[in-house]
Amino acid sequence: MLIEEKIRELGLNRVIVAACSPTLHQLTFRRALSRAGLNQYLFEHVNIREQVSWVVEDKAAATLKATRLVRAAVGRIRHLQPLAKRRIMIHPSALVIGGGVAGLVATRDLAKRGMRVTLVENTPFLGGRMAQLYTLFPSNEDAKELLGKLIAEVVHHPLVTVHTGAQVMSSSGIVGDFRTRLRISPRGVDKRLTQVGIAMAACPEETISEYNFGLTRRKAIYMPYPGCWPQMPAIDWRSCTKCGKCLSVVGGKGIDLSQEPQEIEIHSGVIVLATGYDPYEPMFGEYGSGIFPEVITLQQLIRILDPEGPTAGQLVLNGRPVKSMAFIHCAGARQYEGINMPQPSGKVNDYCARTCCTATLHQANEIIDRFPDVVIYDIYQDIRTYGRGHENYYERASERGVRFIRYDPRRLPKVRHDPRGERPVVVMVQDLLTNRLDVEVPVDVVVLATGVIPHDISELVDMYKCAVGYDSFLLEVHPKLRPVELAVSGVFLAGSCQGPMDITECSAAAAAAASKAAALIAQGQVEMDPFIARVNEDRCSGCQTCLTVCPYEAITRDPRKGVAVINEALCTGCGTCAATCPSNAIQQFGFTDTQVMAEVEMLLADMMPAPLPTGGSHE
């Protein structure tokens, strides 16, 4: 109120505030100017807290620095001109990238709010990692049944368009006006194919089954599991030799080996990234992985226990019934430098994967229910069953005979051949629960409770200028206040692309992202600051230097005039073009050469040497 009153009382035409960071209250002060009838961009904010009082201990030096900064602001503000916010219409649709549970929930919720949604999945089938599970904790629901209901809600909604086998090639634009280029791989199969089993059986080419984590092999024309969506096979073009045998056995109906990839452009107002995670793959030799066939991952065990899995739900490995097994927690998570092998990035995964403790105990209880004679050891650093109902799995496992052994993460368990021949392998571990007693555990199978790592989306990170955390997962603006937003306006996060999450947390994050995205679309338009670049056509030489440096592809060349043209809807005001223009033909509103030079000159005024006297003679 004080600033508003002084503007009216004194007839001020410029305002400078020397205070804290402009990120906190610059908008507050600008609104005060607007209420007083003054253009809000005739305002300059001087940060004398973070830039002075917090970093300069000497009072005299701090006062001098603050004085210089205020003086520089005076020099700059004299040349400021009234500006108006840009208003950009928001395209009333959303693009969701990722067809796992988070992407599906976000798509469903956006469509239910009346938004048109394009869902993009880079594999041929929807479902993501959830499709590889068979029961879910803590409800013990059937994973595929629940997933099937969710997929049906999405694909049958009239406002949803789904593209599988689609890769994001490029994206341009800003909030409200994104244009994304997709490359869609041909499926090679359509609904006319009715003899699915015959076509797949005729295929001579086989490759490792990603769905079963390498436990089985699949054909080049395949469906990962019964009931998948789309409910038709896809051709893996990396494995297919186009021999035509699948085509000939079905009479040429429903299979086309000559299809080519297509490229389409999607126009959307907002984007939701739901790109998911990858299970950690143990390196060769890590806990005996790759050396002993009896060492498998938790994901592989889940596929074995699935009644529709490679062993029809029987606890069998390498043709041998499993009578004893040991789980080793934190494989690929909570690692220590100098103790664990570094990852290809050169770092270790020092973060907790969060979900694997409960998932391990869930499977342990499942085995006790179905195979009560199996002896189970649980070798852990810490038990972190943090969610509602999760602790029950630990308590039930303890009560039902699971033998817990706690290891020191700086002295990792070792897997060796059993020298006595009782079992295929033995786990050698120092047990902290028995005063560091060295224990040997002979077992049929060692199951590594592996962590999770970010799905490789380096191209999307560069495309959308995403912030990435120390753990390489996508980084939100603020974990508490803006937990599903990226720093890039109009781009939202959903699910485990942010970090390790279980399905409950993924769904909650996806619902939050959908709510934020829908609220933005509902505004109809978005206001943007006016600090964009402009071209002086009289000075532009048409050299196109600005075209090559613009990271947002906001500059084109007018073929008739031969000069640069800036698309104001795409320009973000980064200033790169203005800094690189050799003809000085580009200026940026709010940061013109005149304004910046006046600021610098006033900042350095008392530090410049006095000019030499003119006239007269001297020795």
Per DSSP, 341 falls in state: P
Residues in contact with 211: Cβ distance below 8 Å, sequence separation at least 6, in sequence order: 131, 132, 218, 224, 225, 303
Three-state helix/strand/coil letters over 347-409? CCCCCCCCCHHHHHHHHHHHHHHHCCCCEEEEEECCCCCCCCCCHHHHHHHHHCCCEEEECCC
Q: Do the beta carbons of residue 120 and residue 93 sit within 8 Å?
A: no
The closest of 356, 412, 401 to 377, measured between CA atoms, is 401
Domains of the chain: 2-84 (no CATH), 93-185+261-276+455-526 (3.50.50.60), 196-250 (no CATH), 282-453 (3.50.50.60), 533-588 (3.30.70.20)
Rounded to whole angstroms, the Cα distance separating 150 from 510 reads 13
As a whole-number percent, the residues of the chain with pLDDT over 90 amount to 89
339: which 2 tokens? 């103790």
Question: Per 3-state DSSP, what percentage of the chain is helix, strand, and coil (rounded to 5)?
Answer: 30, 25, 45
Q: What is the DSSP string of 101-148?
A: HHHHHHHHHHHHTT-EEEEEESSSSS-GGGGG-SEETTTTEEHHHHHH
- Predicted confidence (pLDDT) at residue 302 exceeds the cutoff of 90: yes
The predicted model scores a pTM of 0.85
Interval 250-263 mean pLDDT: 94
Report pLDDT digits (tens) over 169-214.
999 888 999 999 999 999 999 999 999 999 999 999 999 999 999 9
Rounded to whole angstroms, the Cα distance separating 599 from 605 reads 10
- Predicted confidence (pLDDT) at residue 334 exceeds the cutoff of 50: yes
Per DSSP, 287 falls in state: G
Q: Do the beta carbons of residue 443 and residue 467 sit within 8 Å?
A: no
The closest of 123, 234, 146 to 187, measured between CA atoms, is 234
Interval 376-393 mean pLDDT: 96
Q: What are phi and psi of 442, to 5 degrees?
A: -80, 130
Q: Give the number of other Cβ atoms within 10 Å of residue 364's Cβ.
A: 24
173: which 2 tokens? 């634009």
Q: What are phi and psi of 418, to 5 degrees?
A: -75, 110
- Predicted confidence (pLDDT) at residue 22 exceeds the cutoff of 50: yes
CA-atom Rg of the chain in angstroms: 31
- Predicted confidence (pLDDT) at residue 617 exceeds the cutoff of 50: no
Q: Do the beta carbons of residue 52 and residue 65 sit within 8 Å?
A: yes
The closest of 399, 372, 370, 452 to 140, measured between CA atoms, is 370
Determine the pLDDT at residue 618.
43
Q: Do the beta carbons of residue 535 and residue 585 sit within 8 Å?
A: yes
Determine the pLDDT at residue 10.
94
Sign of CA dihedral 69, 74, 79, 83: positive
Q: Do the beta carbons of residue 137 and residue 149 sit within 8 Å?
A: no
Report pLDDT digits (tens) over 110-145.
999 999 999 999 999 999 999 999 999 999 999 999
Q: Return the SS3 of 266.
A: strand
As a whole-number percent, the residues of the chain with pLDDT over 70 amount to 98
What are the strands of the beta sheet with 425-431, ordered from one edge?
414-417, 425-431, 437-443
105: which 2 tokens? 């929930």
Report pLDDT digits (tens) over 421-447.
889 999 999 999 999 999 999 999 999
Q: Give the number of other Cβ atoms within 10 Å of residue 355's Cβ.
A: 24
What do you get for the CA distance between the two ends of the chain, in Å?
62
The closest of 108, 187, 190 to 151, measured between CA atoms, is 108
Rounded to whole angstroms, the Cα distance separating 96 from 104 reads 9
Q: Do the beta carbons of residue 408 and residue 329 sit within 8 Å?
A: no
At 160, the amino acid letter reads V
Position with higher pLDDT, 464 vs 428? 428
Q: Do the beta carbons of residue 300 and residue 210 sit within 8 Å?
A: no
Determine the pLDDT at residue 551.
82
Determine the pLDDT at residue 203.
97
Per DSSP, 438 falls in state: E
Q: What are phi and psi of 302, to 5 degrees?
A: -60, -40
Distances (CA, A) of 352 to 153, 212, 528, 545, 579: 33, 25, 39, 46, 44
Q: Do the beta carbons of residue 189 and residue 234 sit within 8 Å?
A: yes
Rounded to whole angstroms, the Cα distance separating 481 from 142 reads 34
Q: Band the pLDDT of 611: cuts 50, 70, 90.
A: low
